[in-house]
Amino acid sequence: MLKILKASSKDFQSRWKKILEQRAQMGKEIEEQLEKIFLDIKKKGIKAVIKYAKLYDNFSGTEKDIKVKKSELNGAKNLLSRDEKRAIEKAKQRIEWFHKKQKPKGYRLKENGGYIRERWLALERVGIYIPAGKFPLASTVLMCAIPAKIAGVGEIVLTTPANGEVHPAILYSASLLGIDEIYKLGGAQAIFALALGASPIKKVDKIVGPGGLWASRAKVYAYKMGLVGIDTLAGPSEIAILADGSAKSELIIADIKAQLEHGEDSWAFLISTSKNLLEKVADEFRGEKANLVLIQARSKKEMIELANQIAPEHLEIMLKNPEEVLEQIYGAGAVFVGEYSPVALGDYLAGTNHCLPTGARARFESPLGVWDFMKRQSIVWMEKHIFLKLQKSCKDFARLEGLFEHARSISIRAKDLK
């Protein structure tokens, strides 16, 4: 049986700290290899991209084969069943419904003829990385591209690992959104091709979408180099569940198994005040190798504290009175309340975005949204009489900081207006 950690035990805090630290470790050891790939692609362009695609993705084509042809894109619908297409279309409809409300609006503060203003501008070109190793995540096409389309992004390009054909569900999802620039590339080579540009692939302004270790660390590397914006550092998928004795163990077991299905590096936490529930779950996973942590808490308050410390990608609340807890949850990417709101529903059909911060980043990051494909710009347009009212305090502030040329920039204008 899996061991249940008791929050009341003397060594709990030290053991808990080790668990959180273990979860946070992610791939820093590959930085040197990433730099090698980056410099190679920077120097040799698409030839180096193809070289790494063959090495890591078993790609067997040439430069002209990396882009998905129109015939492949158009033919994808014929390779899916009616129910499969309906599922994708329904998900598209609900994701659009939810995300349309997110589009931000700027504002203008008028001041006697002049104004200060903030406006939102859509990014011009965005790259979306779609994982397709173990599972072809067609749902991620919708989750990333729909907010980008709503934001008004001019060009959207997809990359996805493929040694021959891209999964038809990925292509059909892209075709529904009018995306026809798709490349059969994965890993760091795909990220660097988007970040640097490697003809025929044009450079993008931002890269979004989850991926494996190499793709995720490559995004961070490209961001640090000042080449592109990124959404987040996507780590292993994770779930935390808060449950009391009223929760059904079979539902909790099913949701944990669904989350661990993402891969051996996925994480699951169950925090409960019910010893009986914890033992049932532990018994189900006996002998399995998984990152599953079971914690017996003493109170709801302690459950909330632990959940906020985990700051999980997904948090399920299965309690008698979930409202009492919900409002106190700060650290979670997405929260699922009640037994009829499993994470799996959020992955596909709820309408909320499934691209979420992992590895405790939910403490300071948000789900992917329309705003991630836009940027804010501030505008200052001052009339003379407003300038004259502000100029003295502005000069005084500049001199206070020792920036005398700043003060002179003000003085030279004020002199002409007196």
- Residue whose entry in the numeric block shows the structure tokens 């997809």: 158
Statement: residue 26 has pLDDT above 70: no
Q: What pLDDT digit, counting tens, does each position of 192-204 carry?
A: 999 999 999 999 9
State the DSSP H helix or E strand holding residue 108, giving kind and residue range, or none if neither.
strand 107-111
Res 233: pLDDT: 84
Listed in order, the ranges of the chain carrying CATH 3.40.50.1980 are: 4-26+236-350, 28-113+122-230
Q: What is 152-164 written as a DSSP string?
A: T-SEEEEE---SS
How far out from the chain centre does Cα 245 lie?
Answer: 33
Res 355: pLDDT: 95
Comparing C-alpha atoms, which of 229, 160, 227 is closest to residue 195? 227
CA distance 345 to 211: 21
Comparing C-alpha atoms, which of 310, 315, 302, 308 is closest to residue 330? 308
Statement: residue 273 has pLDDT above 70: yes
Q: Are 124 and 155 in contact (CB under 8 A)?
A: yes
Average pLDDT over residues 324-340: 94
- Residue whose entry in the numeric block shows the structure tokens 């539902």: 251
* CATH of the structural domain 4-26+236-350, one choice from 3.20.20.70, 1.10.579.10, 3.40.50.1980, 3.40.50.180: 3.40.50.1980
CA distance 128 to 206: 8
Statement: residue 2 has pLDDT above 80: no
CB atoms within 10 A of CB 348: 18
Alpha helices for 128-274 (secondary structure H): 138-151, 168-176, 187-196, 213-224, 249-260
Catalytic site positions: 313-314
Res 329: pLDDT: 96
* Terminal-residue alpha carbon distance, the chain: 84
Average pLDDT over residues 354-376: 95
Res 212: pLDDT: 86
Structure token pair of residue 250: 């079979």
Residue 132 pLDDT class (50, 70, 90 cuts):
confident
Res 289: pLDDT: 82
Torsion, Cα 53 59 61 62, to 10 degrees, reads 0
CB atoms within 10 A of CB 316: 30
Res 322: pLDDT: 92
Average pLDDT over residues 167-190: 96
Average pLDDT over residues 80-97: 98
Q: Are 210 and 234 in contact (CB under 8 A)?
A: yes
CA distance 328 to 339: 19
Average pLDDT over residues 274-281: 95
CA distance 310 to 146: 29
CA distance 86 to 90: 6
Q: Are 295 and 306 in contact (CB under 8 A)?
A: yes
Res 28: pLDDT: 65
Statement: residue 188 has pLDDT above 80: yes
Question: 76: Cβ–Cβ under 8 A, 6 or more apart, which residues?
Answer: 168, 169, 171, 172, 175
Partnered with residue 379 across adjacent β-strands are 117
Q: What pLDDT digit, counting tens, does each position of 293-331 carry?
A: 999 999 999 999 999 999 999 999 999 989 989 999 999
Average pLDDT over residues 368-394: 95
270-291 residues labelled b (16+ CB within 10 A) or e (exposed): bbbbbeebbbebbebbeeeeeb
> How many residues are given for the chain?
418
Statement: residue 131 has pLDDT above 70: yes
Statement: residue 418 has pLDDT above 90: no
Helices then strands, each counted (H, E), the chain: 16, 14
Average pLDDT over residues 107-129: 94
**What is the second-level CATH architecture of the domain 28-113+122-230?**
3-Layer(aba) Sandwich (3.40)
Res 1: pLDDT: 55
CA distance 198 to 151: 26
Res 143: pLDDT: 97
Res 58: pLDDT: 84
Does the model's pTM come out above 0.75?
yes
Average pLDDT, the chain: 93
CA distance 232 to 322: 29
Res 27: pLDDT: 62
